[in-house]
Homo-oligomer: A and B are copies of this chain.
Amino acid sequence: MAKKFRGIYAALLTPFVGEEISTEKFQDNIRKYNETGLAGYVVLGSTGECVSISDDESERLVKAARETAAKGKKVIAGTARESTKLTIEFTNRMADLGIDAALVRPPSYFKSKMTKDALKRHFLTVADKSDVPVIVYNIPQNTGIALEAKLIVELSDHPHIVGLKESSGTIAFLGEIIRQLPPDFSYLLGHGSAFLPALLMGASGAILSVANAAPRICAKIFRLFTEGKIKEATELQLDLIPLNKAAMETYGISGLKYTLDVQGLYGGPVRAPLSPLEDKGKAELGELLKRLGLIG
């Protein structure tokens, strides 16, 4: 059976003009991304500062993405809340807007009580009640919760749980479970520096922050991989790593937004508590974009 989610998805940034979100700028960006070979978009991901915006703002962004995404481009929305009840309610509110799947990270505030059993019950209940397919989201660096390999395998039995976004980027984790997942289950890496190795080991695609900055390069790595051009794909993956590291790890979302601003897309400011980018970061990021041929 064909996997539902294949290829490269951009974890879209949320554009602010002043203090407010701008669905116009958001749609301008998406229109440009529609031309780039991406398979689709994730709205309200970590990169989209999902935790920093209101439910109403979230709704406006999802609506805008759905309207603007080119035909065939999938739209996935991050819909996690800290309780099972609120997660279901928000997921279905987003489902009404026509998303293709909900991306759901685990509740994490009550860390010491998030046992495998508690997490399993949470995801199964959400999947039972969700009007759209669910993609489980493992991002321990932000949540402090590392989903166990065995839990993912167990969850993959549920007909409504169709994929995993794995942002720890641990290839061994992938290797441990990939053969135990249903054939149509989508394993999507969430780490821009390691997605080619993941594809080689069996991932069906990737959801990437760096795809906001370099959508064509990300899509090309995927294409080279599908064509069996492993050596060229590897070189391009290695080319991409310095930008991915600088934009996401060193400078974070404000750094990534800057890389859009200088390419004719809209990045704009981050919302506090994130900090604005300093000049040092601008210089370094500009240099990296140049080396990749993304700016002149």
Cβ contact within 8 Å between B200 and A83 = no
Report the copy number of this chain in the oligomer: 4
- The residues in A between 73 and 115 inclusive whose CB is less than 8 angstroms from any CB of B are 82-86, 106-107, 109-115
CB of A238 closer than 8 Å to a CB of B: yes
| Complex CA distance for A178 and B62, rounded to whole angstroms | 39
| Complex CA distance for A196 and B178, rounded to whole angstroms | 15
**Distance (whole angstroms) from the CB of A227 to the closest CB of chain B:** 13
Query: Which residue of B117, B252, B253 is within 8 Å of A275 (Cβ)?
Result: B117
A19-B85, A110-B273, A272-B83 known; A172-B169 Cβ under 8 A = yes
CB of A36 closer than 8 Å to a CB of B: no
CB of A142 closer than 8 Å to a CB of B: yes
| Interface 0/1 of A114-139, CB less than 8 Å to B | 11011101100100000000000000
Cβ contact within 8 Å between B191 and A172 = yes
- The residues in A between 143 and 171 inclusive whose CB is less than 8 angstroms from any CB of B are 143-144, 169-171
Among A171, A176, A197, A201, the most chain B Cβ lie within 10 Å of the Cβ of A171
